[in-house]
Structure 1
């Protein structure tokens, strides 16, 4: 089978409980499921565990996840270790900032297959495509199009992974190199951000202004939603 999904992003990890005496308690929102191998309040990590448990043998998955899934310690490290061990986590697409969910959110697409049981790790190497560094897209002013993914699709070589070749944006990282990284951090970059040295490469003022307006409008929409819920409470 194939699982293609973009679980909802969110950092809320607790909820409020109003006791009979009117006092408010804050409790962690942990998920303790028999098919999960680690308990955590991180929703993205739990969605990833759910997909890993639901995927059938030899099944394929492509999942959109925020950056924290790649570097968060504790439960995150345990899940990444399991992902490399029991699945063929073969490709990671680093998406540009600001094209998914809302402005400023950094997202990735994780491609992995469920491998049959084995004494050896299913992942031999992780190929990472950097579509983020020195790339400039926005949701409205400069949206990403299908043509912007052409190079990644060509590098991916669906059904012919053995023919993959490294390029400026596409790099291969062997399993032993990944396992040697502190906390199994997979938040990996190698390209130089040119905007750090050349201010002329920064977006034009009108585009920056449009992004600010877009962010403010999104914030106002969120505040209106909260205000409406409070009025109805």
Structure 2
């Protein structure tokens, strides 16, 4: 049995091709896996689980999309695949209600799991980008339970407007940042590996899929980076007992 890991699908109503391809992937690849880990930015934006109450009345179309995704994940979970969800920088308000509807388990970021015979550190990856000081300041605020409670107490139309505003600001800010600022800080990668006593890390966020061979205190280490899904192509990592994790891209077909 294998374990599959994916990240950065950024599901939203404006990208139906990715949604349909993901649902097809779930009905195929995911059903054959022992476990599926989704490492953040599953949705392009998430303003709170009570969005599901809007149903078809949601002006953004996110509620019916989310209900459809949750139902599909639940079918996979009921078929025997354990499903795990991690928050990303886009969907950090994803909560237990959605997870329950999806038959999934919310996991912390970071989280250490055993893949095959090896302990592996799973992260979304944004916490490693410490050179982006403006984003790190926002991240600290966005992960604060009190701030989240204040946001969730706002009426849904105000939260929708705030989400649009944050996305616009993020896009404008990123267009003016140097490429290396938005990538991980090598020293932070080493520190995270040391802190958790592992030599392998898997994350997403940067949209720069690769396998990086590292040296950690004189010993070999690896950093796997998942890619973001596009209408024509997806990314996954497959981990099998006795084998190193395999990063691969594949054509998406609805």
Pair in the same fold by TM > 0.5: no
Give the TM-score band, short-chain normalised.
under 0.3
Which of structures 1 and 2 has the larger relative contact order (alpha carbons within 8 angstroms, sep 6+)? Answer: 2
Q: Which has the larger radius of gyration?
A: 1
TM-score, length of structure 2 as denominator length: 0.25
Larger helix share, 1 or 2 = 2
